[in-house]
Amino acid sequence: MVLKQKYQTKESAIASYDYSDLAEGTGVVSFFGSDNMSISGPGRLYSLSKGVLYSNDINTQIVNDSSNFTKKLEKDFDVVFNQPQNLKGIVKVNITLGGRTTGGAPNSWECYVILKLKKGTTDIAEAQSETVAGGGGAADVKNSKVLQVLIDASAAITHFKPGDTLRMTVELWSRQPSGGGPHTGFAHDPRARTDVAASAGGIIEDAHSTIFQINVPFIIPTL
């Protein structure tokens, strides 16, 4: 009697993909950016996680003090892999930029982000968002916009071994064309909580998402 050989189909290896692109042969994993207070000491840590956790803060923001676009923030959102992965394809990012006025006009602001996908500290690919603007009127007004930014990481396969870090660096570039010291920043709450009022420090409009989501394509292992 001939016994049929059983082969492991590696279903467990692809079960954690949020969705797949059969044409590209990739499985996409959605990571959510958030911040938390360090358990080993003071300071804020930024991270990526598949879990939809509450962020310590809904947004990160700065005060504008220049009439020229200046890099005002640079934050690294990290996740460490415990299994090997091969990244290749278009990384789709949803991020919401916003700002608030702190005094009466003139108080306009403009900002954009440069998103840098990295393996540890080594750049893989990057993309710049459109510019978001607001202000110009009364004090304590917040304006924001939900953006999708595409990062083309399809030029080559990037291999991650166990212990390697996938990093998304967010650079916030902003300016105040008319002065007034408005604040600008970006949201990063996986739970999508509504930001507080501008008078209490909020920068994201109530109708806009506060989620910072990164959809990363990985090559599906051959069965």
Q: What is the pLDDT along the chain (223 residues), one digit of tens a residue?
A: 444 433 333 333 334 899 988 878 899 999 999 998 766 666 788 999 998 999 999 999 999 989 999 999 999 999 999 999 999 999 999 999 999 999 888 899 999 999 999 999 999 999 999 999 999 889 999 999 999 999 999 999 999 999 999 999 999 999 999 878 899 999 999 999 999 999 999 999 999 999 999 999 999 987 6
Tell me the two tokens of residue 219: 């090559």
**What torsion do the CA atoms of 190, 77, 144, 140 make, to the nearest 10 degrees?**
90
Please report, for the chain, the start and end positions of each structural domain, with discontinuous segments joined by +.
Answer: 18-219
- Number of helices followed by number of strands (H, E) in the chain: 1, 13
The CATH number for 18-219, chosen from 1.10.150, 2.60.120, 1.10.3470, 2.60.40, is 2.60.120
Q: Which residue blocks in the chain are alpha helix, DSSP H?
A: 11-14
- For residue 65, give every residue at least 6 positions away whose Cβ sits within 8 Å of its Cβ, in sequence order, or none: 176, 181
Structure letter (DSSP) for residue 198: G
**What is the spatial distance between Cα 49 and Cα 159, in angstroms, rounded to a whole number?**
19
Phi, psi of 114 (to 5 degrees): -110, 120
pTM of this structure: 0.89
User: Would you state the pLDDT for residue 30?
Assistant: 97
User: Which tokens hold the place of 213?
Assistant: 């989501």
Q: Phi and psi of 12, rounded to 5°?
A: -65, -25
- For residue 37, what pLDDT is reported? 78
Question: Would you state the pLDDT for residue 83?
Answer: 92
